[in-house]
């Protein structure tokens, strides 16, 4: 087990507005792309989630008590601009000032994202990131936040650009539920990158104080078994999931090698990417201006070549073995013997975090300082009753192994300065609802009572080493 953390290390817990706040209809909040969708789907409701909108003082207090020094939160665009643009909603603005003050008063540094999967409903209806007008609205919203929330010194523009694009247009488990709509999937990635880059350029031009970056989830893709055909399949999937965005973010160009893979994938799927004049200049300018990089890491995929038609099945229930993914002309996901998986079929593979940290540091020096901004284990934690400690040894093992992988990369020169566990407290999971828990703190969603998990004690113990 990891014995101590490096001096000055950021040791945090992560949240996202829509997954924790609840209160989706109060104080003038506008609808996101999720509200009507979840209602129609009828599986689970985003209210009350963890009721962080009201209970944030309690959760910040817990964070402090259990040795954390940082928290990731996101601002809900629709609390500030209920329609995505127009006049700011003062009650929403006031809420975030209260939240940031509470963090700072407790010695918990807030790391704040502007967009975490929660596009305003009417912008979503109008094409979401596929509509370039919405990029303008995002930049206006970002500018408003930079100016208004000057107490925030650590910004992220967008969380996991690929997850949104992939879940919306490839995997089909986020609205608007398209399956293998590859044109939209690649275009959304490019447009989100533009939105990010424009926000970064503006932040620097206007001389706002603080640091800014974005968050990518990186999912290493390994061939299995290791044959030349499977290696090529892995390279194709990697280009779509990681490389296109990393190039665009930190090189300000999609390199010829990356585009060769992307074009092969697009051709195999009759898809197109449209880059408009001037786009690449915007990306180029931003590519050296990110102050840091937030890397989320959960799992790798193991891939074999696949030439048949695309099909997939998403495991959103935690019934082990129900997921599959086959991408025409790209590859299919396979299980690698000996690699354990979660109930949601996610591979548990800490070496993947190490590999990705090394790769980013080696190939993308403009990423500068790296923070692991999400990592954690989805688990069906067992409630033991009021005031009873919850036994989540499996989660401790998971986090411990990943922190160890991080420290190994660090000892070999990778500038990684922090770790945020996903998640601070149990929360609502977009496509999985409430039984996929990640928190250090258990939330009884009926009473909103918080209970302590063993992982919180473990987290505290390690956090203590920062003070020694």
- Active-site positions read 160, 374
Q: What is the smallest separation between the CB atom of 156 and ligand BGP, expressed in angstroms? A: 11
Q: What is the smallest separation between the CB atom of 378 and ligand BGP, expressed in angstroms? A: 5
Among 35, 181, 374, 451, binds ligand BGP (CB under 6 A): 374
Stretch that binds ligand BGP, among 106-114, 159-167, 193-201, 206-214 (CB under 6 A): 159-167
The secondary structure of the chain, three-state, reads: CCCCCCCCCEEEEECCHHHHCCCCCCCCCCCECCHHHHHHHCCCCCCCCCCHHHHHHHHHHHHHHCCCCEEEEECCHHHHCCCCCCCCCHHHHHHHHHHHHHHHHCCCEEEEEEECCCCEHHHHHCCHHHCHHHHHHHHHHHHHHHHHCCCCCEEEEEECHHHHHHHHHCCCCCCCCCCCCHHHHHHHHHHHHHHHHHHHHHHHHCCCCCEEEEEEECCCEEECCCCHHHHHHHHHHHHHHHHHHHHHHHCCCCCHHHHHHHHHHHHHCCCCCCCCCCHHHHHHHHHCCCCEEEEECCCCEEEECCCCCCEEECCCCCCCCCCEEEECCCEEECCCCCCCECCCCCECCCHHHHHHHHHHHHHCHHHCEEEEEECCCCECCCCCCCCCCECCHHHHHHHHHHHHHHHHHHHCCCCEEEEEECCCECCCECCCECCCECCCEEECCCCCCEEEEHHHHHHHHHHHCCCC
If binding is defined by CB under 6 A, does position 118 make contact with ligand BGP? no
Among 89, 109, 154, 163, binds ligand BGP (CB under 6 A): 163
If binding is defined by CB under 6 A, does position 20 make contact with ligand BGP? no
If binding is defined by CB under 6 A, does position 443 make contact with ligand BGP? no
Cβ proximity to ligand BGP, 69 vs 159, nearer residue: 159
The footprint of ligand BGP on residues 205-224 (CB under 6 A) is 217
Q: What is the smallest separation between the CB atom of 171 and ligand BGP, expressed in angstroms? A: 11
If binding is defined by CB under 6 A, does position 422 make contact with ligand BGP? yes
Stretch that binds ligand BGP, among 94-102, 136-144, 429-437, 451-459 (CB under 6 A): 429-437
Among 50, 159, 258, 290, binds ligand BGP (CB under 6 A): 159
Cβ proximity to ligand BGP, 19 vs 191, nearer residue: 19
**How many residues bind ligand BGP, per CB under 6 A?**
14
Site residues (CB under 6 A) for ligand BGP?
16, 19, 159-160, 163, 217, 374, 378, 422, 429-432, 436
């Amino acid at each position: 087990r990891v014995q101590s953390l490096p001096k000055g290390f950021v040791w945090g817990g992560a949240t996202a507005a829509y997954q924790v706040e609840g209160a989706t209809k109060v104080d003038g909040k506008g609808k996101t792309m999720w509200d009507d969708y979840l209602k129609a789907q009828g599986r689970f409701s985003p209210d009350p989630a963890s009721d962080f909108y009201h209970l944030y003082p309690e959760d910040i207090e817990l964070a402090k008590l259990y040795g954390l020094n940082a928290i990731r939160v996101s601002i809900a665009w629709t609390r500030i601009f209920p329609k995505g643009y127009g006049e700011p909603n003062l009650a929403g603005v006031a809420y975030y000032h209260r939240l940031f003050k509470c963090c700072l008063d407790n010695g918990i540094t807030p790391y704040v994202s502007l967009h975490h999967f929660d596009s305003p409903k009417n912008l979503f209806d109008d094409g979401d990131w596929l509509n370039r007008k919405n990029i303008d609205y995002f930049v206006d919203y970002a500018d408003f936040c930079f100016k208004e929330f000057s107490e925030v010194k650590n910004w992220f523009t967008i969380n996991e650009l690929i997850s949104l694009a992939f879940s919306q247009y490839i995997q089909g488990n986020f609205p608007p539920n398209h399956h293998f709509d590859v044109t939209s999937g690649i275009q959304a990635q490019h447009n989100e990158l533009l939105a990010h880059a424009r926000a970064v350029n503006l932040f620097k031009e206007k001389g706002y104080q603080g640091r800014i970056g974005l968050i990518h989830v990186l999912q290493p893709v390994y061939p299995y078994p290791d044959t030349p055909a499977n290696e090529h399949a892995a390279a194709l999937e990697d280009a779509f999931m990681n490389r296109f965005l990393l190039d665009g973010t930190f090189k300000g160009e999609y390199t010829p090698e990356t585009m060769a893979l992307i074009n092969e994938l697009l051709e195999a799927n009759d898809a197109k990417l449209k880059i408009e004049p001037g786009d690449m200049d915007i990306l180029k300018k931003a590519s050296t201006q990110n102050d840091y990089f937030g890397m989320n890491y959960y799992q790798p995929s193991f891939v074999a070549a696949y030439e048949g038609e695309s099909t997939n099945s998403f495991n959103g229930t935690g019934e082990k073995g129900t997921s599959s993914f086959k991408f025409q002309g790209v590859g299919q996901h396979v299980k690698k013997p000996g690699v354990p998986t979660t109930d949601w079929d996610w591979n548990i593979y800490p070496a993947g975090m190490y590999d990705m940290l090394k790769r980013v540091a080696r190939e993308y020096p403009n990423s500068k300082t790296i923070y692991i901004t999400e990592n954690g284990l989805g688990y069906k934690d067992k409630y033991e009753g009021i005031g009873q400690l919850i036994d989540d040894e499996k989660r401790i093992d998971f986090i411990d192994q990943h922190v160890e992988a991080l420290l190994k990369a660090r000892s070999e020169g990778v500038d990684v300065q922090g770790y945020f566990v996903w998640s601070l407290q149990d929360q609502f999971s977009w496509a999985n609802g409430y039984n996929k828990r990640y928190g250090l703190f258990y939330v009884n969603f009926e009473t909103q009572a918080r209970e302590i998990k063993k992982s919180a004690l473990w987290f505290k113990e390690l956090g203590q080493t920062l003070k020694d």
